[in-house]
Amino acid sequence: MQAGLTLKSGCGIGYEFSTLRPKGAHVSGAGAKTSGPLSFMDIFDKTCFTVSSAGGRRGAQMATFDISHPDVYDFIKAKAQDGCLRQFNLSLLISDEFIEAVLQDKEWALVFPMKEGGEEANTLDLNDPKQVIWRSWPSDDGYIINKKGMTACRVYRWVSARDLWQCIMESTYNFAEPGFILIDRVNEMNNNWFCESIRATNPCGEQPLPAYGSCLLGSVNLTHFVEHPFTPEARFNWEQYREVVSVFTRMLDNVVEINGLPLEQQKRELFSKRRHGMGFLGLGSTVAMLQMRYGDEKSVSFTDKVAKELALAGWRTGVELAKEKGAAPVLEQKFKVTQAMLRQRPEMLEQGYKAGDRVLGKVLHARFSRYMQRVAEQDSELVDQIEKYGCRFTHHSSIAPTGTISLTLANNASNGIEPSFAHLYSRNIIKEGRKTKEKVDVLSYELLAYRHWIDADAAPGEGLPEYFVTTDEVTPEQHLDVQAAAQRWVDSSISKTINVPTDIPYDDFKDIYLYAHRRGLKGCTTFRFNPDVFSGVLVREEDLANTVYRFTLEDGSIMEAKGNEEILYEGETHTAANLFEALKEGYYGKL
């Protein structure tokens, strides 16, 4: 019911499903076996589809799943089935331990917690690491827990970590899912490390959130701060940028008061921490206007500064707001120091803290947040102020995909942190009342600007400067270098899709996620146009023209059409690609 109400209000939802017992597990006292997490995911998928069908807007859901769950292979392969879990984005919760097992070619245990008094507790040796592994677990549902706070987990089977990794990367290559969340890093860098254990994100992944957490997002259009674009005098107005960020910070804090959330639990969580996620859009368009090539050293340095100045201006305003209106309530609470906290932050022991002490949230936030320690390297006085006065919010920054607002409010400036997809391409738009997406041709913001300021006849492939790049001209490593530069100063996370060419060899693709781990990211996703699976939101005309779709008619005959050809069906005109996808996903019956 809570999910339905949340979706109905226009919100997206993130869930972790790996807290559910694996398929085939014994149900104590019922004489039956469980159907597994994916069967429950199917229920939520259908709920979302029903709400979307009634309201005209597609619902947004994220399902996260632990890499050590016994049903992890089923989760990875779920999107290989037509029409399966199409109302979900899927992401794996990847631990540092698993990455290490992949690098060292070790065996990996697929496990699930054991309950106190359960049959397994009497039949398995808790001291045999081949049968039982002790590990941290995000919840306590009557599980066996030792004095160190570790949970006893039954080993269902051992697999090769590299074989499991291969399965992940093959699925990502073919189906663009599952995504990749480095959950240990998410929690290590969480400002609220002392009172939260993050296991899920919002639907696009830029906001790791606790139970009932909400993402209040807003984006600054970077293109507005470029002066004298496409000339040797091109510059970014940093003073104006900092001023806008400060004013916008106050605006987002005000939005907390009129949040419109449907559940009381969501409102309580939001008012306690007052987190919001300010980001930016138009980075790709902006670096082009400044005559930089997205992904090169200059653009990476620029990205670092853009994110850092946004962070510092926002936190300074947060302290001002705390003095004016009060700090986020959670920062004025006292928290009991636990052994687990001392393991996470050994410097607390060095500073004389011990288990049982009670410490203000603003001290734990300012002094022992790994992110705030990084901020202190740039402005130690600012962090001193947060320790003394608190801050109006616990989190300030997050970079969203911004697809809709980039198109509708920013004249098709590049999405979020991305380069432009192309400079002349098609967008598949979801419209109320239509079962298929509508194809709309668009130009990039930087091409429109170049035509206005420099050359009215400029076109892709006809006289544009070399810094006019598109997403598939940027290497995967360059994509991740830009993301890593921003992530240093973004306290939540970043929605980033690495678009790769359809014909990229698998061997050039398979190590993308490992590079993301090395660069210190919290997560990422990839997209390779695969016409056998989906058409995507952003589509190149040449990809559609080179793809032939086959439709089976009611009489059994076959009709073929190129992806960009138009078909009249049920009173509406569709591209063959969009109609094929809608039929496959179950929005229509047969032709």
Sign of CA dihedral 182, 402, 304, 317: negative
- Mean pLDDT, to the nearest integer, of 473-485? 96
CA distance 13 to 7: 7
At 526 the three-state DSSP class reads: strand
- Please say if the pLDDT value at position 428 is more than 80: no
- Please say if the pLDDT value at position 535 is more than 70: no
- Please say if the pLDDT value at position 226 is more than 70: yes
Identify which of 75-89, 180-194, 430-444 has the greatest average pLDDT.
180-194
- Mean pLDDT, to the nearest integer, of 472-491? 96
Of residues 578 and 313, more confidently modeled: 313
Whether residue 78 contacts residue 36, with contact meaning beta carbons closer than 8 Å, is answered with no
Which residues make beta-bridge pairs with 32?
27
- Mean pLDDT, to the nearest integer, of 178-183? 96
pLDDT range class, residue 591, cuts 50, 70, 90: very low
Q: 6: part of which helix (H) or strand (E)?
A: helix 2-8
CA distance 385 to 381: 6
- Mean pLDDT, to the nearest integer, of 550-557? 75
CA distance 456 to 448: 9
pLDDT above 90: percentage of residues in the chain: 71
> At the topology level of CATH, where does 2-188 sit?
Anaerobic Ribonucleotide-triphosphate Reductase Large Chain (3.20.70)
Q: Within a 13 Å sphere around the CA of 352, how many CA atoms are in the beta-carbon half?
A: 0
pLDDT of residue 565: 84
Contacts of 160-164 with CB under 8 Å at 24 or more apart are 160/105, 160/107, 160/108, 161/98, 161/101, 161/102, 161/105, 161/106, 161/107, 161/108, 162/102, 162/105, 164/67, 164/72, 164/73, 164/102, 164/108
Sign of CA dihedral 241, 490, 196, 383: negative
- Please say if the pLDDT value at position 308 is more than 50: yes
pLDDT of residue 292: 98
- Mean pLDDT, to the nearest integer, of 36-43? 94
Among the ranges given (8-12, 66-70, 293-297, 448-452), the one the predictor scored with the smallest mean pLDDT: 8-12
pLDDT of residue 195: 96
pLDDT range class, residue 590, cuts 50, 70, 90: very low
pLDDT of residue 49: 81
Q: What is the token pair recorded at 436?
A: 């298929």
Nearest to 192 by CA among 291, 329, 384: 329
pLDDT of residue 52: 64
- Please say if the pLDDT value at position 351 is more than 70: yes
CA distance 497 to 130: 38
- Please say if the pLDDT value at position 587 is more than 70: no
Of residues 50 and 76, more confidently modeled: 76
Of residues 17 and 529, more confidently modeled: 17
pLDDT of residue 532: 66
Look up residue 25 and give its DSSP letter.
Answer: -
Alpha carbon 314 to its chain's center: 22
pLDDT tens readout for residues 368-379 = 999 999 999 999
Strand-pair category, 438-443 with 132-135: unpaired
CA dihedral 312, 314, 316, 320 (to 10 degrees): 180
- Mean pLDDT, to the nearest integer, of 420-438? 77
pLDDT range class, residue 534, cuts 50, 70, 90: low
- Please say if the pLDDT value at position 53 is more than 60: no
CA distance 337 to 365: 13
pLDDT of residue 508: 92
Q: How many CB atoms lie within 10 A of CB 250?
A: 15
Whether residue 203 contacts residue 60, with contact meaning beta carbons closer than 8 Å, is answered with yes
This prediction's pTM: 0.90
- Mean pLDDT, to the nearest integer, of 1-20? 89
Strand-pair category, 424-429 with 107-113: unpaired
pLDDT of residue 136: 86
Among the ranges given (48-52, 145-149, 257-261, 293-297), the one the predictor scored with the smallest mean pLDDT: 48-52
- Mean pLDDT, to the nearest integer, of 180-206? 96
- Mean pLDDT, to the nearest integer, of 245-259? 97
pLDDT of residue 58: 64
- Please say if the pLDDT value at position 589 is more than 60: no
Among the ranges given (135-139, 405-409, 531-535), the one the predictor scored with the smallest mean pLDDT: 531-535
Q: At what angle do helices 297-325 and 370-378 cross, to 10 degrees?
A: 100
- Please say if the pLDDT value at position 26 is more than 50: yes
Whether residue 9 contacts residue 261, with contact meaning beta carbons closer than 8 Å, is answered with yes
CA distance 453 to 455: 7
